[in-house]
Amino acid sequence: MAATRILAPPNQDGGLGGGGTLPEELQKVAAEELGEDARKRDLCLVKLRNLLQGETSLHSRMDDEFLLRFLRTKKFKVEVAFRTIRNYYRHRRESPEIFQGLRPSKLRHVYQANGQMRLPHKDPEGRPIFVLRIGCWKPCDYDYYQLRKANMLCLEDICLDPAVQVKGLVCILDCRGWGLQHLLGFPISQVRKTIDLLQANVIALQETEAGDFKVSGYLTHVIDGKARTAMPTKKTINAQQHRIHHRIEHTLVEIAPEKITAAKPLRVKPVHVVYQPSVFNVFFSLAKPFLTTKNINRIHIHGSDMASLHQYLPPGILPEEYGGVHGPFDNTKYCQGLYDREDSFVQDLKYGYHT
């Protein structure tokens, strides 16, 4: 067998995978679910660096910590991890409205709305929990792009956790207060970008899940109240862009697991929807064709029934808004951690495709 050529440098400590060694409690899970061991980790890191080195227009991070985020979430399928990294950097290049000047200190007013936080405690399976309170967004106070920036930084931060990389992320979507003003706050210009990102992720999901991949309906375009399973063309989108159903679909796609993970090293596992308004089920039916069958089964809708939520997430790990024992929801401490990491967020902006 021919030796693999190492084009990218190893770690500063001289090892290829030493920087990616997992805590002991995660090693068994990673071996069983991802097939990870020291030999495979090192070999895949070499192969991934080779592929990235060949992408001459891309200036990517090459350190183990960064690359392993993608390898683990793609179950060490190197080609899929490589394509996800390219999507990751392309998304940054093609969305300057989100990534230009992306730093926590400029988004304090968004975080002060208390709308997002990683909870201090993990679920019974050891998975971190992220709460998104979409009704806290006041479009009259700050726009959609500032909200996206704030949430993007949270996701970047969450992806650093090896527990997320190995076990995945649990989400609570709190819809209390969500309504028409939020639908109208989404810019139509984002619809096409959402569709393009979903297309790229459908391919990645097929490759990652192999035979276990089924889509409930490729992409649905709603015309005159009828759902049609088809890929909408740019002409069709332009012709229909004034219709509010686009805003509805876009709102739901924004929170779909596929959209969250399309260009991110992140596996979203259960999504628990609470305090949704009565029209949510109608809107959710519109979003279903955007989701894989597996991810449809991961979405649990509880309404105001906290006993239903507690079947998955016990009160001992939740704030009082969800029937928990840990006092009111307060993201102050969590957001301070984001502010403290500002330099690393800024440093990451130096990487990407050459313009």
| Rounded Cα–Cα distance for residues 64 and 158 (Å) | 17
Note the pLDDT of residue 191.
52
Note the pLDDT of residue 12.
32
Kindly give, in sequence order, each residue whose CB lies less than 8 Å from that of residue 344, ignoring residues fewer than 6 positions away. none
> What residue spans define the domains of the chain?
18-94, 101-341
Kindly give, in sequence order, each residue whose CB lies less than 8 Å from that of residue 234, ignoring residues fewer than 6 positions away. 192
Domains 18-94 and 101-341 share a fold: no
| Residue 67 three-state SS | helix
DSSP structure class, residue 36: -
Note the pLDDT of residue 239.
42
Q: What single letter denotes the amino acid at residue 153? A: L
For domain 18-94, which architecture applies?
Orthogonal Bundle (1.10)
The CA angle 74-79-80, to the nearest 5 degrees, is 35
Note the pLDDT of residue 49.
98
Closest by CA position to 212, among listed 293, 288, 287, 269: 293
Note the pLDDT of residue 259.
47
Note the pLDDT of residue 164.
96
> How would you write the pLDDT of the chain (355 residues) with one tens digit per residue?
333 333 433 333 333 334 567 999 999 999 999 999 999 999 999 999 999 999 999 999 999 999 999 999 999 999 999 999 999 999 999 889 999 999 999 999 999 999 999 999 999 999 999 999 998 998 889 988 999 999 999 999 999 999 999 999 999 999 998 776 666 666 656 555 555 555 455 545 555 555 444 444 333 333 333 334 444 444 443 444 434 444 444 444 444 444 455 567 888 889 999 999 877 777 777 777 767 788 788 999 999 999 999 999 999 999 999 999 999 999 999 999 999 999 999 999 999 998 6
Tell me if 17 sits within 8 A of 46, measured CB to CB: no
Question: What is the chain's length?
Answer: 355
For domain 101-341, which architecture applies?
3-Layer(aba) Sandwich (3.40)
Closest by CA position to 309, among listed 322, 298, 325, 328: 322
